[in-house]
Amino acid sequence: MKIVVIGGSGLIGSKLVNSLLQLGHTVIPASPQYGIDTITGEGLGEALKGADVVVDVSNSPSFEDRAVLGFFKRSTVNILTAAIYAGVKHHVAISVVGADRLPDSGYLRAKIAQEELIKESGIPYTILRSTQFFEFAGRIAEAATIGDEVYISPAGFQPIAADEAVSALAEIAVNAPTNDTVEIAGPVCMPMYEFIRYYLTEIEDSRQLVMDEHARYFGAELTDESLVPGETALLGKIKYEDWFQKQLETT
C-alpha cells in the first residue's frame, strides 16, 4: 500500500512511518520539513498521487484558541480535498479521548472540528481517539505553570505510551475503514495530579505542584469522566513508571 503520513516528522508521525515501513509499505512522510505543507497546499497533491491511505497525525504549531482552530480546519479541508482528487480510499486521523466533553478547551474544539470535517467528507475514514501520551507530561506541566507553581487537577487520567498509540494506528491504517471512532488508553487510571507529581519528582523539578480541582487543562475544568475512555476502549499494557524508568536507562 502507499500510505501518506501527514505530520510524518512529529512524535507520533516519525514512529508511525518507521512502523509502516517495517510492515513493507510504501510510506511518504509529509510535513513542512519534507516540503509538504497542508496549510499552503505545497507538495500535497503530488504526495497523495496514487496513495491508498492518508494518516493525519499533524499538530498545530500554536495551541492558541484561534490559531489551533484555524490550523485544523484549513489543514483538514486541504488534505480531504487533495485526497478526494487523488482517489484515496481511507482517511485515518488521531484525535483525543473526551474531546467532545470539553468544549471550553480551544484545542479540543479544534479537534472536534477536524473530526466533523472528516466524517462529512465522504471519504471512508477511521478516527483513533487517544488519551494523553506519556511524552506529553512536560507540556501539561508547562501549560499549567503560573510563576513557580504548577496547578493540576486531581481528575481521572489514563495516559498511554506513544508507541502503543502508534501500534494501533498502524493496524488501523492497513485495515479497511470502519467509518467509526475507536478509543485507546493506557492500562492505569490515576489522578492527573499523581501523573505530574511523578514526572516533576523524577526530573527533580523545583516548581511547586498544587492540587487544584478547578485547575484548567488547556482551557477546560475536568471531572473524573472528562479524559477517561469508555468501556470498549483498546488498552495499552505499558505502565507510566515502567516506561519512565526505561527512558532513563536509554538516555
Shortest Å distance, C-beta 101 to ligand NAP:
14
Q: Which of 126, 132, 153, 181 binds ligand NAP (CB under 6 A)?
A: 132
Site for ligand NAP in 139-198 (CB under 6 A): none
**How far is residue 49's CA from residue 164's CA, in Å, rounded to a whole number?**
29
Residues 6+ apart with CB under 8 A from 158: 97, 131, 185, 186, 188, 189, 190, 227, 228, 229
The answer to whether residues 6 and 94 touch, using CB atoms and an 8 Å cutoff, is no
Q: Does 26 bind ligand NAP (CB under 6 A)?
A: no
Helix/strand/coil (H/E/C) assignment for every residue in 169-226: HHHHHHCCCCCEEEEEECCCCEEHHHHHHHHHHHCCCCCEEEECCCCEECCEECCCCC
Shortest Å distance, C-beta 59 to ligand NAP:
4
Site for ligand NAP in 229-248 (CB under 6 A): none
The answer to whether residues 36 and 13 touch, using CB atoms and an 8 Å cutoff, is no
Q: Does 208 bind ligand NAP (CB under 6 A)?
A: no
Residue (192 or 209) nearer to ligand NAP, CB: 192
Residue (57 or 152) nearer to ligand NAP, CB: 57
Residue (35 or 87) nearer to ligand NAP, CB: 35
Q: Which of 19, 59, 105, 153 binds ligand NAP (CB under 6 A)?
A: 59
Q: Phi and psi of 235, rounded to 5°? A: -125, 135
Residues near ligand NAP (CB under 6 A) are 6-7, 9-13, 31-33, 37-39, 57-59, 61, 75, 94, 96, 111, 130, 132-133, 136
